[in-house]
Structure 1
Amino acid sequence: LKALIYDKDDKLPLLDGATKRQVSLDVLRRKNVLLLISSLEFANDELAILEQIYNESRIHATRLESQYEVVWIPIVDHSIIPLPEEMQTKFENLQSTMPWYSVQDPLFIKKPVIRFIKEVWHFRTKPILVVLDPQGKVVSPNAIHMMWIWGSTAFPFTSLREEALWREETWRLDLLVDGIDPTVLTWIKEEKYIFLYGGDDIEWIRRFVKSASSVASASRIPLEMVYVGKSNKREQVKRVTGIINAEKLSNVWQDQAMVWFFWSRLESMLFSKIQLGRGDDQDPMLQQIKKLLSYGREGGWAVLSRGSNIAVNGHSSTVLPALGGYDEWKINVAEKGFDGAFKEYHDKLHDAAHPCCRFEFPNTIRIPENMRCPECPRLMEKYTAFLCCHDEQGIPGSLF
């Protein structure tokens, strides 16, 4: 750490976020340390979720997974020294909200260190979380994906721990909404039928909600629906959320941070697999994650579950027609259950009309050489793309 942070003998280079007192690097001696490296463009959503995870870990401070400290390493442009007042104010405002340790002055992180962070740890613009063990050895060059998926449970944030956590996971609704929406978790416990859905086409949403409600009523099943937006187009998602609220169409996630976290966790699941060298595994869970990420990019989508068990993960082009064909499959509900009958009919439509799949990767992660389509066994074609979503406040940290 002393190699990273300029530490003159007469300096106390860290600020303790809890006490707001200046402290020396000795407070981190023989501890697991997570270096939170970011620019001053730290999105509020991202920071809020990270604070929530950190604060929850402090509540259970005696647990093994709480035995780590976080240090914010701010990266600023050293070509402008002294820092402009606007930049200094932004740094101080960010620092004041952080409950963990932070570098007292961004200029303590010198140019050669910044070069090292960019070249060796591949920092670009999005925050990364470099993990050091008590001996100061790097055990993960970026554990941010583990943190988003599992929170402090991922401690000590090693690849071995990541592998172990994946072995425990299955494709279920809890995995998608864990730590985001307690209401959905309650529905899961009550074994209700649940539609998670998204997109930005309000006409499709109106038709989908009306059709789903009608089919649920005819089948006499308890159905809950919640709108969770999409992975980009933040302003359009806010507009759609407002319309859903006004027309009382269904439940919605009012807090944009929840929407951001849902999609960031999904992206992190894919990134985590890629980082482990398993981005092209043919395991069913990974294929479903890929599908949902792709659907979230193009058009609308819906996931149907009964309790925790996901029955259908479908694109707008197949989900609505499947609901519309209720008269054809309702005869199977008694034998196969609502979810089983719907899945069987939906899958027939899906097999006849595969929607296109696409993924766009930021240059902050190792892009796989090849990737198989989650809809069919073919290798996907690789393109170089330039993208603009005309959205000044596009979801920070997003894959898209």
Structure 2
Amino acid sequence: MNQVNVDELKGKKVVWFISSLDISDEYIYKVIIPIGETIIEQYQIVWIPIVYEWTNEAKEKFNQLADNKQWHVVRYFSTIAGIRFIEVDWQYKGKPMVVVTSHRGEIEYRNNSLPRDFSIWEIIIKLGAKWFDRLASYINDQILAWMKEKKHIFFYGGKDDKWVEKFKEKAETFTKDTDIKLVSLISSSKSAKKFWGSVEELFVSVSKINISHQQQVDHHVTQQVQNLFWFKNESGWAVLLEGFTVATSGHGSIMLKVLEDFNEKLKEQVGPNFGSAFKECQKLVVGKEKLHPCYRFDIEDGTEKDIPNHTMRCPDCSRLMKTYLSLRCCHEEED
């Protein structure tokens, strides 16, 4: 916890999280506070707890919530004058809320009644931050360092271990003596579970923003997010990153075919334009081989998350997707 004087934040972009003490660590981490380093670098994050009576129990709860967090906390044990401003000008209604202010102090975003399933992705996407950064934080520290250095990175994985091994061998041969990096996602790892959970949150947020807001998410971002979520249950997949930007991504059958058929041509393009060259070769493979695997999105408790499924368009062909009901039991205990 970093205690902060509000005057120290003048001239800086700030994400203000305002709430009572009636919240949990799980709620803070999952719903409100971004983990990605890029977001933390772009915005100061400040928690203002609204407490009208500081009992010993309240102080203990405050210390527990504020302990070992990456953001700033306005610490006080008596009523502060700013509460009136927050209640009147920011319209605090007793529920957790978020306000984002620019370096000039102007409000860029405000939500004063956060729903149960609110996600920080809504802020990240609408403010145009680098959305893949938070996802990368679930993979490993090395990929974040390479992204900051604007390296080209093949990020890949899949349910089929044989495909994963085959892609790894082909990619290692191709990237030998180049500065292109390789990162795999082990499907059975704890980090993979967190990664796909965060991808689903992002998918849900993008879907809802596109339906409920006049200003939609950029089409390319929507397409990239949908592709990534589709990969979750596929045999193989690969994403080509250029720093924090997704240059292209695709099903395993397509991405492997690109490396097999255009090996020499792509080696000549290794450099700043490698992402564009790979994407063009990918289009040629899709056109020649007629490779258009079916897209499927499996969302756990999807009805409770109020997904606008009847207006969901395929990221590949732009047709309206068909909706199916899927029920499953794997005879396992709940986590």
User: Shared fold (TM-score greater than 0.5)?
Assistant: yes
| Matched residue SS, 2:286 | helix
Where do 5+ consecutive residues of structure 2 fail to align?
1-17, 52-60, 67-89, 97-111
1:278-323 CA distances to partner (integer Å, 9 max, x unpaired)? 3896711011101110121222111112322322211111111111
**CA 1:285 to 1:392, structure 2 compared with 1: closer, same or farther past 3 Å?**
same
| Matched residue SS, 1:66 | strand
1:32 corresponds to: 19
- How many Å apart are 1:202 and its aligned residue? 1.1
* Contact 1:295-1:315 at 8 Å conserved across structures: yes
- Asked if residue 136 in structure 1 is aligned to residue 94 in structure 2, the reply is yes
Matched residues in 1 for 2:94 and 2:163: separation? Answer: 53
Matched residues in 2 for 1:216 and 1:192: separation? Answer: 12
**CA 1:209 to 1:146, structure 2 compared with 1: closer, same or farther past 3 Å?**
same
**CA 1:295 to 1:34, structure 2 compared with 1: closer, same or farther past 3 Å?**
farther
Matches within 5 A, 1:1-400: 32-33=19-20, 36=23, 50=30, 65-69=45-49, 99-100=64-65, 134-136=92-94, 139-142=112-115, 144-147=117-120, 149=121, 162=122, 165-169=125-129, 173-174=132-133, 176-178=135-137, 181-217=140-176, 220-230=177-187, 237-238=188-189, 256=190, 258-278=191-211, 283-327=219-263, 329-330=265-266, 333=269, 337-351=273-287, 352-361=290-299, 362=301, 363-368=303-308, 369-389=310-330, 392=333
| Matched residue SS, 2:239 | strand
Where do 5+ consecutive residues of structure 1 fail to align?
1-30, 72-95, 102-131, 150-161, 231-236, 239-255
Matched residues in 2 for 1:70 and 1:181: separation? Answer: 36
Matched residues in 2 for 1:189 and 1:360: separation? Answer: 32
- How many Å apart are 1:178 and its aligned residue? 4.5
* Contact 1:213-1:223 at 8 Å conserved across structures: no
* Contact 2:203-2:229 at 8 Å conserved across structures: no
1:91-137 CA distances to partner (integer Å, 9 max, x unpaired)? xxxxx9x9339xxxxxxxxxxxxxxxxxxxxxxxxxxxxxx964425
- How many Å apart are 1:52 and its aligned residue? 11
* Contact 2:20-2:95 at 8 Å conserved across structures: no
Q: Which amino acid aligns with 1:99?
A: Q
| Matched residue SS, 2:323 | coil
Give the CA RMSD over aligned residues. 4.0
Matched residues in 2 for 1:332 and 1:392: separation? Answer: 52
Matched residues in 1 for 2:155 and 2:267: separation? Answer: 25
| Matched residue SS, 2:322 | coil
TM-score by length of 1: 0.54
- How many Å apart are 1:34 and its aligned residue? 7.4
| Matched residue SS, 1:99 | helix
* Contact 1:33-1:134 at 8 Å conserved across structures: no
- How many Å apart are 1:51 and its aligned residue? 11
* Contact 1:322-1:346 at 8 Å conserved across structures: yes
* Contact 1:319-1:346 at 8 Å conserved across structures: yes
Identity within the alignment, %: 28
- Size of the aligned set, in residue pairs, is 258
**CA 1:69 to 1:302, structure 2 compared with 1: closer, same or farther past 3 Å?**
farther
**CA 1:271 to 1:100, structure 2 compared with 1: closer, same or farther past 3 Å?**
same
TM-score by length of 2: 0.63
* Contact 1:195-1:224 at 8 Å conserved across structures: yes
